[in-house]
Structures are given as C-alpha cells and as structure tokens.
Amino acid sequence: MTTPSRRDLANAIRFLAIDAVQAANSGHPGMPMGMADIAEVLWNDYLQHNPGNPHWANRDRFVLSNGHGSMLHYALLHLTGYDLPLEELKNFRQLGSKTAGHPENHMTPGVETTTGPLGQGFANAVGFALAEKLMAQRFNRPGLAVVDHRTWVFMGDGCLMEGISHEAASLAGTWGLNKLVAFWDDNNISIDGQVQGWFTDDTPARFEAYGWTVVRNVDGHDPVEIKMAIDTALGSADKPVLICCRTTIGFGSPAKAGKESSHGSPLGKDEVAATRAALHWEHAPFETPQAIADSWNALSAGRNRETRWGHAFEAYAAQYPDLADELTRRMSGELPAGFAGVADAYIARLQAEGPVVASRKASQMAIEAFAPHLPELVGGSADLAHSNLTRWKGSKSVASSDPDANYVYYGVREFAMTAISNGLALHGGFVPYDATFLVFSDYARNAVRMSALMGARAIHVYTHDSIGLGEDGPTHQPVEHLASLRYIPHNDVWRPCDAVESAVAWRAAIERAEGPSCLVFSRQNLPHQARGDAQVAAIQRGGYVLKDSVGSPEYILIATGSEVALAMQAAEQLGDGARVVSMPSTSVFDRQDAVYRDAVLPKACRKRIAIEAGVRDFWRKYVGLDGAVIGIDTYGASAPAEKLYPHFGITVDAAVAAARAL
C-alpha cells in the first residue's frame, strides 16, 4: 500500500465502528462515520497525549459528549496505541468488555469522563478547561508553563438541545476558557429524523452571544478546512471556540447516509458491503492494513511528548521545588500530610465548645477551618452563597486571574454546576464542592448520579433540608429528596445533627477519594449533643449510639439531622429503656461490618422508631414492618418552622406515642 491518505486513515475509524456495531447487532454507526474526518485531523495533528500513559498530567482532555457514538472513541484509542486491543472492539457492548455502549471513564483506558446523557460531557469539558485555567494560574511561571493543555469536545445536535448546554456554554464564555474547543457535529439528524421540526436555533449566534469565538460553515469531511478551523481555535487568546462542522451522518453509506436510519442501528450486512465498495475499503471486518495502522500508532510520539514535558518539569522543579512538590501532590489526589491532625483538633474543639448553630452555619465553619489547609478545595453555589454559606474568608472568584482563585459563582445553573464539578474532580488537582437548596437537587440529580457512576471526588452541598425552612412553602421544602439521593448507588449522603457531626461529614467527604458525597444541612439552629470521645470517633461510621439505655434497649429511636434533638427528648420521656441512634449517613453505616451494625441496632430489639422530616418508606429497612416511622408523606406548607412540625405530626409526643403503641 502506498502512503495512506487522510481519507484512508479516517476510513479505518469508520469501518472499525461499522464492523463493531454490526457484530454486536447494536449501537450507533452514523456519528462515527460522520465525524471520522474531524477526529483524524484532531488526533493525528493536534492532540497532546501519550497512549502509553493515559494519566499523564499535562495531556489534553478529549471528551465525546455525544457518547452514543462511542465506537469513534474506541477506534481512536485502539488505533493510536492505548490498551484497548482489537478483541475488545470485537466484543463491543458485550458483558465484561472495555467497550461499553457509552464511554465509561472507570472502564476504558483513555476515556476521561463517562458520557451518554447528552450535554453532560460538554459541561464536564467546561470543568476540565476551568481546572486547567486555575492550575496554570497557580503553578506556571515565566518561561515554565508546566500546566498547558487543551480540552477538546465533540458534541451533536442532541447535546445542544439539552438545557445544560446553555448553562455550561454561558459560563465558559464568562470565564474566557480559551483552551476549550468544541466541535459541533452539524448533521441535522437526530433519532426522530430531520431536526428542522424541533431544532431551529441559530447556534453560531447563540455561542457568539455567550462570548465564544465561532468558526462557521466548516466542511467536516475536508481535512484542509478542518485544519484551518483548528488553527483559528488555537489563536483564540481569551475565548472558548466553537467549530461548526457540516457533516453527513453515516458518511459513505449509499442507502443510509444523511438519514436517521444510520443513527442508532447497524447498517445491515448488505449495506456494510455496499459501504465498503463505495469507500473502496477492500479489507475484511476488523482488518486495518499495516500501513494505516502504522500511520495511526502514537506510542512513540506520545512518549516523546511526555519526555519533553518531563524535562521541562525537571527545570521547573529545580527552580521552584516547593511548587513542583505541591503540583505533584495535588495531581496525585493525596491530601496534605497535616490535614488529618487539623480535622481531629477542630472536631475535638467543637465537641468541647458545643456551639448551637444551624448546620448550614456549621458547614461554613468547617470550610473556614479546613480550607486554609486544602488549596485544592474549590467551591461555589448556584446563586445562593448567602443562604448556602459556602463562601469563606479566603474565597476568590475563578473569574479573576488570581493564582489562588477558588470560588465559583455559578448563577442559577444547578445542573451545569454539578456537571462542571464532576469535570473539576476528574481533571485532577481539585476537590470541588457545589451548593444549592436540597429541593433543587432535582435539577442536578442526573449529574449527581454521574458523580457516583464515575467515582468523581465531588462534594454536593444542600441546605434548607426540610419543612424546617418554613415560610417559602412546599415548592422549597424537600420531602422525597433525601431518600432519592440515598438510593443512588455509591453516593454517600450525610445529614448531620449538630456542628460536630457537620465537621465530621465535611472531613469524610474530603477524604473520600473514590466517589461523591452529598452534605445536607438545616436552615434552623440545632442543639449541640453531648458525646464522649468514643462517640465522636464513631460518627465517621455513619451511625452510632448517641444515648444508650440502661441494660438492653426496649426502644431504639433512629434519627438524623434536626430530628435527633427530637429523638433525644422522646427518649427522656420513654425512660431508661430507650436508646437513641444518630445516623447522619445511612450509606456509610450500611458499609460497616455486621458486628458493628448489630451492636448499634441489635436484632433483639424490635420496638424501633425512625424520625426524619422526609418520606417514611425509606426507613422501613431499619425499623421493619413492625416498627414505626415519624415523617412526612405529603408536601409541606408555608408557615414558620415551629408551626409546621406540629402540624405534620413530627413531634416528641408523636414519637413517644408511636413507641408505646409498639
């Protein structure tokens, strides 16, 4: 074979995608066929990566927001030399393979973020680009740009229809993320057909209004035009860039090109053969000619890129050893060596002093105590900083060029906020937190789910956690939200009862490297609870005995948050036979060994009462059908908090009566 042309190289992507989808009898061939030419130019001429080390700190981040076209990504990873052998492509969409239906960051080497829910990959990419900007401000020095990489994102019409794309694009423009380049796959097709009936936005004008540089009308099948567009993007000094690529979905298919029939179904045996003929691909399924494979292989070039950067980093370390050590530590995900001691001392002081504050205030106090020792902590709120209490005295806006910028004013954008936090976490170098009212976690829930699915080290802060917020009424009073968040696998939910538990929750969330945490706080003041040292230590186990019975318990009262104080009062009335269990995190408690769980909730005691200002059914797993739950299974009402609790039957008397009725 003569030297492969760019079309030959792109066709290698196309046919790996076609053949994998056909073998699986499932998948989306149209997008990989349509975007193959763009991907070929980007990955062969511009992408800064090392297939031999997918975790190289200064690599470019590539995000496939239109994740249904996952075979495009898998073909690229395989061809360039990542640990994704051909057998994995042949097992596309099969159980146990590294080639899932949508890209999974925890499964496939080289996949930066899990994508598929449209628009979220784009928002993650904004988080990646923000992370690069902040790390560069903090660590780069004149002539020594050790943090210098780009974020490239592919997205389709569906991503742009999703509301999250508007939220994230607006923020990216406001922040001037010039190292973010997005390619819009403008093929006019979605699953239901031609998009003119439901997607008529002037997308280029929309992004220009957001403060982006827009490169219009690029022929997505012409490598010369694609290169010119990318070169324009590289010249943008202060704006993110949208490259509008006109493409044909299912490019090369005689019968299905430009049609929705190529979107989400295999081409079919006959059409695969016809496409091979049309594109002059005279090779067997999954066969890539050696000359084409050699042209794609980027292992040597990747090693050279990382080696050159390594030499630059050595020069940097020689001149700025402390900064080099700090950058290495942050990108490794290790917390500062002294953090545990700081946390221990602060928690002990709180227990001794016993402040009576709202847990949202206790949350702010914990941030004030921990943040000075955690430069990787970057946080923000969805236009509720004064209510969520997420700012601290060292907060500096990320919209600035301050090297210590660490606070994000997200505006009213809960969904994008959460997805951007995921991007910050996945980039490395940061422990992000975001915040809104608990009731508005609904807007963000799918991004919270993605946090958990991906194992992103993100902290989601939710305040105004119950009917206790009062006068704002049922639109703002969460009822089902705690249970909903707890039902997300691999998601730790904390609802602390006082300042001490709040600090422990923050510590646990910061130290949890393998996944997200939701920290849920009250608007109203909460009384301090007396504890011994062993009880303070047990908080981190998610549930513990706060007040014990004399002898074996006759009653066990289980409560969280503001209702722990209510449980303590009820226990006083029930007498020496009552045990109170504070359970700030059911998810953490459930991970404890059986011996500990049985010690806290002995099976012999069946008179169990759970108390929480939320839906009751969740608590049946702890109290059984023979126990009682004091909660709320309807919506709240607008009134002062002190009137709402009696109105909905969440009272000491109700708890006592329920216990005595068992």
Residue 608, judged by CB atoms within 10 A of its CB (0-12, 13-18, 19+), counts as buried
What is the model's pLDDT at position 277?
98
Half-sphere exposure of 104 (CA within 13 A, CB side): 14
pLDDT at 554 over 70: yes
pLDDT of residue 633: 96
Q: Per the residue annotation, which of 414, 501, 554, 612 is the catalytic one?
A: 414
Residue type, 380: G
414 assigned to active site: yes
Based on its alpha-carbon atoms, the radius of gyration of the chain, rounded to whole angstroms, reads 27
CA distances from 534 to 336, 348, 502, 530, 581 (A): 26, 12, 17, 12, 14
pLDDT of residue 2: 82
Q: How many CB atoms lie within 10 A of CB 530?
A: 11
Dihedral angle computed from the Cα positions of residues 540, 542, 547 and 551, in that order, rounded to the nearest 10 degrees: -110
Cα separations in angstroms, 131 against 53, 259, 405, 414:
20, 38, 11, 19
- Residues sharing a CB contact under 8 Å with residue 251, sequence separation 6 or more, in sequence order: 14, 33, 34, 36, 37, 221, 257
Dihedral (CA of 87, 92, 98, 103) sign: positive
Q: Name the residue with tokens 């949208």.
A: 242
Q: Give the model confidence (pLDDT) of 144-157 as tens digits.
A: 999 999 999 999 99
- What is the mean predicted confidence (pLDDT) over 125-132? 98
Query: Strand 180-186 and strand 241-246: pairing?
Result: parallel
What tokens does 112 get? 């930066």
Instruction: For residue 326, give the amino acid letter.
Output: E
pLDDT in tens, 483-506: 999 999 999 999 999 999 999 999
Contact present, 659 and 630 (Cβ < 8 Å): no
Give the pLDDT band (50/70/90) at residue 1.
low
CA atoms within a 13 Å half-sphere pointing along the CA-CB vector of 456: 33
Q: What is the pLDDT of residues 297-326, one digit of tens each?
A: 999 999 999 999 999 999 999 999 999 999
Q: How many CB atoms lie within 10 A of CB 153?
A: 29
Closest CA to 270 of 260, 256, 283: 256
In order, the DSSP letters of 20-37 are: HHHHHT-S--HHHHHHHH
Taking only the tens place, the pLDDT of each residue in 231-261 is: 999 999 999 999 999 999 999 999 999 999 9
Work out the average pLDDT over 327-341: 97
Mean pLDDT of 268-282: 98
Contact 421, 432 (CB under 8 A): yes
Q: Which residues of 371-396 are buried (b: 16+ CB within 10 A; e: fewer)?
A: beebbbbbbbbbbbbebbbbbbeebe
Cα distance between the two ends of the chain: 83
- The structure tokens listed for 245 are 């690529």
Max Cα-Cα span within the chain: 90
Q: Mean of the pLDDT values across residues 507-528? A: 98
Residue 413, SS3?
Answer: coil
Residue 147, judged by CB atoms within 10 A of its CB (0-12, 13-18, 19+), counts as buried
Span 539-552, pLDDT tens digits: 999 999 999 999 99
| Residue that is written with structure tokens 């990216």 in the block | 172
pLDDT at residue 356 greater than cutoff 80: yes
Predicted local confidence at residue 384, as pLDDT: 97
